[in-house]
Structure 1
């Protein structure tokens, strides 16, 4: 998907087809989303928790309230991350879903071939299927769900009638308490999420 996106962008700029983001339009974007945690936490044996990246299918649904303002809902298939420390290795595996709602502002005219946009809103992250690994194998690991702010930047580029390519970058404020048999760790995950997708306007 990431490799095809530049080709789509170049094709769009050379195309005479014009995309419209008009008031009342509904459009969906589907593609690959990569969650990249920027974590910090209480220390375990002198080390903070390290949470790896994961890529899943991302989906957004947008309603254009006006030609410039839209409301977007983000959904995805569950993300799964390995949690480790430098001294203990892998200590847990967690899964989560990060549904988010964004208010968006689109720059340019509604019929522009290229529509950059920014957004701000709220994220609710649901953790599940937590499992202890390594030194925590067989012990209970639980993460509190998180509610926080979210922000995004993105761009839509026309490729054909009603079709467009999209690239977007999200920031999510995700704070949670990690409960284990040896204590509770306050953890900030605060990931950046990059999504490359194809969209269709209804």
Structure 2
């Protein structure tokens, strides 16, 4: 009986790993809202949209990881002077290098990341005055920097709650028969969801 008590006590003293240790694969999913922050000098204004976001992370060490962001296609209304002139869809996959604060036993793991974003636009559709003028709309794809900050909080040994904020540098040329408009979309993305550790 004495030996069993000692074994139980020893087991309780050994810290149990939560997640985010070398070799772990972390999958996060949830709602992600992309809110463009178009420059005040831009002629066009791009409206926000919310979609399903998904991230896949691999922990290289207990504190360093890499992450790929994916999502269902975002659909944005493009306005000029307060009136809709186009509808566009885009996908903004981003690859990040991440640093996680704390250690593998921490129940809460804040993290920051930096990397590169590629945004591809498709299904551009003229609306309003552009549609009336019979003008097509085309947006160039974009490469830019990306940054993030986030927080994971343990639910149990495999599940955790996640919240994160993203910034993406997205600059594009909007081409129409009425001219080409340079637009800096530079959206802020807010994601809230659940994560699972493999």
Common fold: TM-score over 0.5: yes
- Note if contact 1:96-1:126 (Cα within 8 Å) is conserved in structure 2: yes
Structure 2 equivalent of residue 11 of structure 1? none
Instruction: Work out whether residues 80 and 96 of structure 1, in 8 Å CA contact, stay in contact via their aligned partners in 2.
Output: yes
Question: Match for residue 57 of structure 2?
Answer: 62
The 5-angstrom pairing of residues 122-137 of structure 1 reads 122-137=116-131
Aligned counterpart, 1:175: 171
1:48-92: CA deviation from partner (whole Å, max 9, x where unpaired): 2111110000000000000000000000000000011225x1100
Residue 79 of structure 1 is matched in structure 2 by 74
1:118 and 2:117 correspond: no
1:133-159 Cα offsets, whole Å, 9 max, x none, are: 000114210000000000000000001
CA deviations on 1:108-161 (whole Å, 9 max, x unpaired) are: 011100000000000000000001100011421000000000000000000122
* Structure 1 residue 40: Cα displacement: 2.3
CA distance in 2: counterparts of 1:51 and 1:180, whole angstroms: 16
* 3-state SS of 2:155 partner: strand
In 1, the alpha carbon distance for the partners of 2:40 and 2:171 equals 10
For 1:182 and 1:73, locate their aligned partners in 2 and report how far apart those are by CA, in whole Å. 37
- Aligned-CA RMSD value: 1.5
Structure 2 unaligned residues grouped into runs of 5+: 1-15
Matches within 5 A, 1:32-111: 32-40=31-39, 48-86=43-81, 89-111=83-105
Partner of 1:150: 146
Unaligned runs of 5+ in 1: 1-16
Structure showing greater Rg: 2
Q: TM-score, normalised by structure 1?
A: 0.87
Equivalenced residue count is 182
Tell whether the 8 Å contact from 2:22 to 2:59 is kept in structure 1 after alignment.
yes
Runs of at least 4 residues off by over 6 Å = none
CA distance in 2, matches of 1:25, 1:109: 13
